[in-house]
A and B are shown apart, each in its own frame.
Chain A
Amino acid sequence: MGLICVDKLEKYYSNSRLLAVKNLNFTIEKGEFVSIVGPFGCGKTSILNIIGGIIDDYKGSIMINGESPSEARKKRKIGYCFQKPNLLPWLSVLDNILLPQKIANIREGNEKAIELLKMVGLKDYALMEPYNLSGGMQQLVSITRSLILDPEILLLDEPLSSIDEINRSKMQLKLLEIHKKTKKTTVMITHSINEAVFLSDKIIILTPRPATIKKIVEVTFLQRNEMTMFSKRFIRYVKIIKEELINGQDN
């Protein structure tokens, strides 16, 4: 049994009879990095928010290590990183990272936050205000913040979508490094097929609305580094996923 088990998930748009997600079944194993790709408006964020326990009006069953998503959320087993960095401008980088701890009334020192900042290479920026940081750095702070409560699962909603191409590649390497070091089960939504192939162990391809699973692609590389993106294997994966997405839209 996987860490996240999604069984016959169905979701209607709020206050509407429009079906957003239809009969979704998949399992995510502990430590896996899974990406969800699909056309715009097919309900990817809704799926992520359901897994994260933020949306609870859905049909079907979702279990996170034997618990419902809202139970897992309340027990702070999930770390969130949204499309926007969502940093509070009146708090320093360090205080922003400590925010989930403060909300959870956990009185620990700054050591863990400093350690995480060191891991992502932002230790020197700890006392700065977020607006002094570039967009990429702000998103990295947001990812770091999602790790502060040591969650079992990381949910990333297009975390790199607003970052330029060069910094995006750097951030992808950073994400890969974070995943290698923390071994957190990660579910990421992305519009970039390259990003999904580069980072994921498994890619869930969705059809247009109502979203159903078109295909689940297992991705394996002997090694992942800067050069992976230029390998034949990588290009083959990208081709497969692109074709599936185009087929899904044509159908």
Chain B
Amino acid sequence: MDKIIKTLSTLTIFFLIWHLIVTISRIPSYILPNPTEVFKAMQENSLSIYLNSIITLRESFLGFFIANLISVSIALGIAFNKNIENTIMPFAITLKTIPVIALTPLLVMWFGPGECSKIATAALICFFPSLINVLRGVKSLDRDLIIFFKAYSASKIQLIRMLIIPSILPYLFSALKVSSSLAVVGALVGEFIGSNKGLGFLIISNYYTLNTPYVFATITASSLLGIIFYYTIHLVERRIITWTVTID
């Protein structure tokens, strides 16, 4: 309760300062709108923001899911065969060095202007941080525990199910949390280029018409989307990982 009051007070002070700066300095609305104008824009366009949020959420979730699925599969492969790491990592690092924004026009060309290119952008932006985190989990596997499972003649499936997956779960959740907010960014970037729906499209189209309050309202919705995504994973993590974890 105390935490909520503190957060609300901070937010109120923030909006108050914002309001005072805009009023005193007489900054035009198309440069920096008053918080009240933003709330009004939010209220008036709530349905449109909601419907486009759903689209952005779907794109970011699918991108997030694909990226994490691929990174977990690669990490599990590396757990059994170190050579996979030597083959894949240079490629993954090269991919990381290319700015995703620079690749987005190409992705639109390859996957079309529909949702697929946005999903691909979200997946691409999530992939590397996710892979690095899950790989850390695989590398931190307790060698003695692997020997223990070997001593009891555990099969590879048993090893994955009973040891590797639970061991890497804390790292996987850390990967999921990092990639959840990145996925939203990826989907938005994808929507900036060649799209006619989604929050990214709303931001860009309202920017062109200098409807800055609407742009602010949409940015707030995108931010909320990221926060909801992140905290959903955080809650699931707290329910699943009940044991003490030390991530090195």
Contact = CB atoms under 8 A, between A and B. Distances in A.
Main secondary structure of the interface of B (DSSP, over half): helix
A88 to B, nearest CB: 7
Interface string A61-78: 000000000000110101
Given A80-B148, A82-B144, A103-B162, A89 B243 contact: yes
A102 to B, nearest CB: 7
B153 interface: yes
A80 B145 CA distance: 12
Contacts of A100: 152
Contacts of A191: none
Interface string B141-164: 010110111111110001000110
Determine the main DSSP class of A at the interface with B: loop
A84 B146 CA distance: 13
Given A86-B144, A88-B163, A73 B243 contact: no
Given A89-B244, A103-B158, A131-B244, 8 more contacts: A53-B151, A54-B150, A73-B153, A80-B148, A80-B152, A89-B243, A102-B162, A103-B149
B242 interface: yes
Contacts of B158: 103
A84 B144 contact: yes
Interface of B: 142, 144-145, 147-154, 158, 162-163, 166, 241-245
Contacts of A99: 152, 162
Interface of A: 49, 52-54, 73-74, 76, 78, 80, 82-84, 86, 88-90, 99-100, 102-104, 129, 131
A149 to B, nearest CB: 8
A127 B158 CA distance: 23
Given A102-B162, A103-B158, A90 B243 contact: yes
A74 B158 CA distance: 15
Contacts of B242: 90, 129
A102 B163 CA distance: 12
A49 B142 CA distance: 17
Contact of B151 (A52, A88, A89, A102): A52
